Each structure stands twice: as structure tokens, then as C-alpha cells.
Amino acid sequence: MPDSVKEKVLARAAKREPFWNREIAIPVPVVAAAAAILIAAPIWGWTMLRNPLLLSGKVSGSAPHRQANAVMSQNDTLVALAGGTYYQSDLTEGWDNHR
């Protein structure tokens, strides 16, 4: 390799900044998406915490889905067990005969 090429390579290598000193460009859509998530997540969390069923302590999650023909009494409460959240009437159904 000629000396002139070696000098050009060494000069170019000497000008290069370390990795941690380099500037990077972050695209605007990425910044906008990150900002939207950072703003929306606390708002969504706050609305979920303000849910009256969660505040009453009767529910520890979302209510289970009932069958279309199931009848729910007016005072039917939700019961949170280790396996999930259930309607009290579903848990006590059929036990009246065995008491």
C-alpha cells in the first residue's frame, strides 16, 4: 500500500469520534409514539383505579362473562377468589338444598 493511502486512512481514523460522543438522530414518529404512551398510560391507569367496583373492594379484576340467558339479581355481588372473579349467585347455586 502506498504511503499516501496509509496517511489518508490514518488521518480519517484519527478524526473519528468515540461511539459515546456521536450524535444520533431519533425519528419524529418514534418520539411522538413514546410521548403518547408516556401520557396515555397514567391516564388509563387513573381511570381504571377510579372504577367504583374496584374501589369498593368487591372486585380484583374484570367481571367474568355470563351466558346470554343467565339472570342476574339486582344485589348480586362479585366474589374474588384465587382462581378468578365470580358472581355470588353462580357460586351458591344449588347449595340451598344441601344446607
Condensed to tens digits (0 to 9), the pLDDT of residues 55-88 reads 555 555 454 555 544 555 566 788 888 878 888 8
Model pLDDT for residues 66-75, shown as the tens digit of each residue: 554 455 556 6
| 3-class secondary structure per residue, the chain | CCHHHHHHHHHHHHHCCCHHHCCCCCCHHHHHHHHHHHHHHHHHHHHHHCCHHHHHCCCCCCCCCCCCCCCCCCCCCEEEECCEEEEHHHHHCCCHHHC
* pTM tops 0.85, yes or no: no
Q: Residue 69's pLDDT is what? A: 47
Model pLDDT for residues 6-55, shown as the tens digit of each residue: 888 888 877 777 777 778 889 999 999 999 999 999 998 888 877 766 65
State phi, psi for 87 to the nearest 5 degrees.
-80, 140
